Amino acid sequence: MNPIDELLAEHEAVKTTLKILKRIGQDVAKTGKIENPKHLDQLFDFFITFVDQCHHSKEEAHLFPALEEVGVSREGGPVGVMFKEHQQGRDLVSKMKAAARQYESGDKEAAKKFTQHANDYIALLDFHIDKENKVLFPMANDHLPDSKLEELRKEFDRIETDKIGPGRHEAFHKMIDTMKGVYLQ
């Protein structure tokens, strides 16, 4: 598979989890309660492991440097913006997790904090994914030679194996399918 198509497919999985997170956030906003912390823990694991350690690692360690090699600027350019937004996403996941833990420890007001951080994360990633899908990834397909795309594919496979481990990708997709049945009917 073309490595850019792989990143696009991963974005679809991320967008589905954002819809699930949105639904959970809506439920929390209505009730003031986090009803199923186990589901949140599964989403946090997805956001940390799949989104950050796997997907963002593919981009930061391999795709972005390849784009820089062909003249796409980091400083003041799209690559720099993507790095910054990845960090903003990490920060928001940490804040969501902290708010969920505060809620579990008895701070019922933390449910509001969780909802706000979740909404911020959803907005950030929706916008981020749109920019990558419509600008950065077409740029990569247009400017990276086939030999570089093949190298990226091999490096992406290595990240799948080394960073998240065999079978985790599939397990995340199974988790997403299960949660879709609960939250997106």
| CATH code of the domain containing 64 | 1.20.120.520
Q: What is the pLDDT of residue 173?
A: 95
Work out whether the CA dihedral 64, 65, 70, 73 comes out positive or negative: positive
Checking if the pLDDT of 75 tops 90, the result is no
CB of 111 closer than 8 Å to CB of 37: no
133 Rama class: left (phi>0) / alpha (psi -120 to 50) / beta: alpha
Checking if the pLDDT of 108 tops 90, the result is yes
Q: Quickly state the pLDDT bin for 176 (edges 50, 70, 90).
A: very high
Q: pLDDT tens digits, residue range 59-72?
A: 999 999 999 999 98
Checking if the pLDDT of 185 tops 90, the result is no
Q: What is the pLDDT of residue 76?
A: 82
Rg (CA), the chain: 17
Checking if the pLDDT of 163 tops 90, the result is no
Q: Would you state the structure tokens that stand for residue 89, as one six-digit string? A: 């996403």
Q: What is the pLDDT of residue 74?
A: 86
pTM of the model: 0.95
> Phi and psi for 144 in degrees, rounded to 5?
-90, 130
Checking if the pLDDT of 113 tops 90, the result is yes
Q: Where are the alpha helices (DSSP H) in 32-145?
A: 37-45, 57-58, 64-69, 78-104, 110-131, 137-143
Q: Which amino acid is at 166?
A: P
Checking if the pLDDT of 151 tops 90, the result is yes
Range of the domain at 153: 3-183
Q: What is the pLDDT of residue 5?
A: 97
> What's the mean pLDDT in 71-81?
88
Quick one: 151 exposed, middle or buried, by C-beta within 10 A (0-12, 13-18, 19+)?
Answer: middle
User: Residue 83 and residue 119: Cα distance in Å, rounded?
Assistant: 20
Q: Would you state the structure tokens that stand for residue 40, as one six-digit string? A: 């949140």
| Distance set, CA 22 to CA 26, 59, 85, 93, 131 (Å) | 6, 25, 19, 14, 20
Q: What is the pLDDT of residue 143?
A: 95
Checking if the pLDDT of 27 tops 90, the result is yes
Q: What is the pLDDT of residue 73?
A: 84
Look at the chain and report how many structural domains it folds into. 1
Q: How many CA atoms lie within 13 A of 111 on its CB side?
A: 18
Q: Which amino acid is at 52?
A: D
Q: Which amino acid is at 134?
A: K
